[in-house]
Amino acid sequence: MKTENKEKNNDMISDLPDCVLLYILSLLNTKDAVQTCILSTRWKNLWKNLPTLRLNSTHLETFQSFAKFVYGILSLRDSTTSLHILDFHRSGIIWPSLLKKILKYAVSHNVQRLNINVSDVVSHLPSCLFSCQTLTSLNLSFKYATVLFPYALNLPALTNLSLKCLIFCAGDDGRVEPFSTLKLLNSLIIKYCKVRDAQNLCISSVTLVNLTMISCPYSFTEFKFELSTPCLLKFKFWGIPIQKLCGSNNNLYSTKHVDINVAMVLNSMDTPFLLLKWLAELANIESLIVSVLSIVPDLFKVEFPFLRNLKSLKVKLRDIELEQAVAMSQTEAVELGVAFDAEFEPFSFVPDGIIDFLIQNSPFVDVNIIDF
Amino acid sequence: MAAEKSSIKIITLIAADGSVFEVEPNIVKEMKTVQSYIDELDQNTVSIPLPNVFGNDLAMIIEYCKKHASEEETKEAKEEFDFEFVKRMKSDDKLRLLQAASYLNMESFLQFMAKAIAAEIENQSVEFVRDYFQIESDFTPEEEAELRKENEWAFK
């Protein structure tokens, strides 16, 4: 059945080993990668051994065509090939059965990096996901906070965890401490999450190096949290400080780099004082990026013998990313039927004396004011 | 073994067209094919023929390796170099360098070229990909139609 062109087929790319061609195909969205099956015999079955699947609904018009595409991949892909990376994006509706199927497939094919981004309301995730032995990186991103994040995790290889719009809940001991079983956790991102029953979220990890926490700058999603992270090097926080960082025992002695963006939506008198308490707890930091503290009477009368090692101070006047987050959360609040009446006024000046106050104990500090 | 390796001062690479390049051992570390030659030989100077790589391409690869092996260059300077390096190449150059990287068994340079190529065919039609790679189909029109039907869920 081969045509006479067969002998002339000596293009540069087709002579390369499978692993090189598969590496290129892995960088493409999987729909385009599958279409290369019609290039020539060399390419006909190549896609079936792809170690990376990038399934993105924006490349398909309707949900039906997306569902057919996903089922087509899963049924024809070589099932002995491990799936190292799964990148799954679905904007719009999704059948729970489809999400369940793809997640179970990934876990049973030794997935290492999983990135799930779904905009539909999801009620729950298959439990096998949270006992996957091969998973090193997990990113769960939802539009609505409707999925409970389990309190018992068995993910022994996990180093990177990123969660958007999930709900944390208490375990059998009554504590909300979901990360303490992750023995290799290095990086944690918590974005727009909630905690059930107004409990404290305890972030306990002896290995955690990078922590990012971003909350919607309107009050009802703010939750209290407590850090027990002796190896934490970088801490980024966007939201409103509402409690101390470590409870009674300060263990943030490793923390060197801090980026705090305070959403001053509530104009609370307590916020600047709480922020100063945080800076006292983060005593060893070398670089600090902070959004402008508002001035409240008596703020500078507070004794502040901290930040002795500070080498770099950056003061943000406005933060475009934060403003976008506010704008987005406003839209989402409207979509959720929630009244949104918080005021957000980004500051456009640095109040007198604030920089001198922060650097009063650090003789060798480089100060920058970042204006956007 | 380790002492022998460190005694090598200069490595001579001979490209397919006969052009000669003299490089220091740290430059060829990334080239596993070359490294395996060096490991087998017990000499102070080594001369290695590379019959599958042309001089122009080898010059570019060495330039890349020198930049990336340098400890003085910042990460930003290396990124800037990578950007300009890709910018001045035509698609044929990229495919040839990918082939050379595969032959020389250079992991990070191979990934770098693969990314540059993927960026060009990303979100393009399969017909564009065929032209870009200069692949001649060995399917009859009937066979191609059959394949499209079999995988119709990917051609929507």
Give me chain A's average pLDDT, please. 86
Taking the Cβ of residue A13 and every Cβ of chain B, the question of whether any pair is shorter than 8 Å is answered with yes
Which is more confidently placed, A303 or B102? B102
Express as a percent the part of chain B with pLDDT over 90.
81
Residue B142 binned pLDDT confidence (cut-offs 50, 70, 90)? very high
Task: Concatenate the DSSP letters of all residues of A306-338 into one string.
Answer: --TT--EEEEES--HHHHHHHHHHHHHHHHTT-
pLDDT of B8 over the 90 cut: no
Name, in order, each residue with C-beta under 8 angstroms of A9's C-beta and a sequence gap of 6 or more.
Answer: A40, A42, B135, B136, B138
Q: What is the pLDDT of residue A65?
A: 92
Q: What is the pLDDT of residue A254?
A: 92
Q: What is the pLDDT of residue B152?
A: 94
| A12/B137 CB distance under 8 A | no
Express as a percent the part of chain A with pLDDT over 70.
84
Residue B86's closest CA among B54, B55, B118, B51? B118
Contacts of A8 in chain B (CB under 8 A): 136
Q: Which of A27, A38, A61 minimises the CB distance to B115?
A: A27
pLDDT of A26 over the 90 cut: yes
Nearest CA-CA distance, residue B55 and chain A, Å = 18
The whole-angstrom separation of Cα A213 and Cα B10 is: 52
| B153/A72 CB distance under 8 A | yes
pLDDT of A338 over the 70 cut: no
Question: Could you tell me how far CA A169 lies from the centroid of its own chain?
Answer: 19
Which is more confidently placed, B42 or B38? B38
For A110-134, write each residue's pLDDT tens digit.
Answer: 999 999 999 999 998 999 999 999 9
Q: What is the pLDDT of residue A250?
A: 79
pLDDT of A334 over the 60 cut: no
Taking the Cβ of residue A22 and every Cβ of chain B, the question of whether any pair is shorter than 8 Å is answered with no
The ipTM estimated for the assembled molecules is 0.92
Which is more confidently placed, A345 or A149? A149
Residue A324 binned pLDDT confidence (cut-offs 50, 70, 90)? low
What does the pLDDT average to over A45-63?
92
Any idea which of A37-51, A287-301, B23-37, B118-132 has the lowest mean pLDDT? A287-301
Q: Please give the structure tokens belonging to residue A200.
A: 């404290």
Residue B8's closest CA among B28, A41, B21? B28
Q: Which of A1, A11, A72 minimises the CB distance to B133?
A: A11
| A16/B123 CB distance under 8 A | no
Q: What is the pLDDT of residue B87?
A: 95
What predicted TM-score, i.e. pTM, was given to this entire model? 0.88
pLDDT of B6 over the 70 cut: no
pLDDT of B82 over the 90 cut: yes
Question: Which secondary structure element, helix H or strand E, spans residue A102, and what is its range?
Answer: helix A96-108
Q: What is the pLDDT of residue A264?
A: 58
Residue A55 binned pLDDT confidence (cut-offs 50, 70, 90)? very high
For A170-228, write each residue's pLDDT tens digit.
Answer: 998 999 999 999 999 999 999 999 999 888 999 999 999 999 999 875 545 678 899 99
Contacts of A55 in chain B (CB under 8 A): none
Q: What is the pLDDT of residue A344?
A: 45
Query: How many A-B residue pairs are in contact by the CB < 8 A criterion?
Result: 109
Residue B101 binned pLDDT confidence (cut-offs 50, 70, 90)? very high
Q: Which of A14, A24, A44 minimises the CB distance to B114?
A: A24
Q: What is the pLDDT of residue A327?
A: 57
Contacts of B99 in chain A (CB under 8 A): 12, 15-16
Q: What is the pLDDT of residue B50?
A: 95
Q: Which of A5, A61, A69 minimises the CB distance to B154?
A: A69
Q: Search chain A and give the residue with CA nearest B131.
A: A39
Name, in order, each residue with C-beta under 8 angstroms of A278's C-beta and a sequence gap of 6 or more.
Answer: A241, A244, A245, A260
Residue A323 binned pLDDT confidence (cut-offs 50, 70, 90)? low
Residue A39 binned pLDDT confidence (cut-offs 50, 70, 90)? very high
For A73-94, write each residue's pLDDT tens digit.
Answer: 999 999 999 999 999 999 888 9
The whole-angstrom separation of Cα A91 and Cα A56 is: 9
Express as a percent the part of chain A with pLDDT over 90.
58
For A264-281, write each residue's pLDDT tens digit.
Answer: 555 567 788 888 889 999
Q: What is the pLDDT of residue A349?
A: 62
Interface test with B, best of A6, A13, A76 (most B CBs within 10 A): A13
For B56-93, b where at least 16 C-beta lie within 10 A, e where not — what string? ebbebbbebbeebeeeeeeeeeeeebbeebbeeeeeeb
What does the pLDDT average to over A313-326?
66
For A238-262, write each residue's pLDDT tens digit.
Answer: 888 888 898 777 789 899 999 998 8
pLDDT of A6 over the 60 cut: no
pLDDT of A7 over the 60 cut: no
Taking the Cβ of residue A198 and every Cβ of chain B, the question of whether any pair is shorter than 8 Å is answered with no
Residue A316's closest CA among A256, A264, A368? A368
What does the pLDDT average to over B85-112?
96
Residue B9 binned pLDDT confidence (cut-offs 50, 70, 90)? confident
Q: What is the pLDDT of residue B15?
A: 96
Residue by residue, what is the 3-state secondary structure of chain B? CHHHHHHCCEEEEEECCCCEEEECHHHHCCCHHHHHHHHHCCCCEEEEEECCCCHHHHHHHHHHHHHHHCCCCCHHHHHHHHHHHHHCCCHHHHHHHHHHHHHHCCHHHHHHHHHHHHHHHCCCCHHHHHHHHCCCCCCCHHHHHHHHHHCHHHCC
Domains parsed from chain B with CATH numbers:
2-122 (3.30.710.10)
Which is more confidently placed, A262 or B142? B142
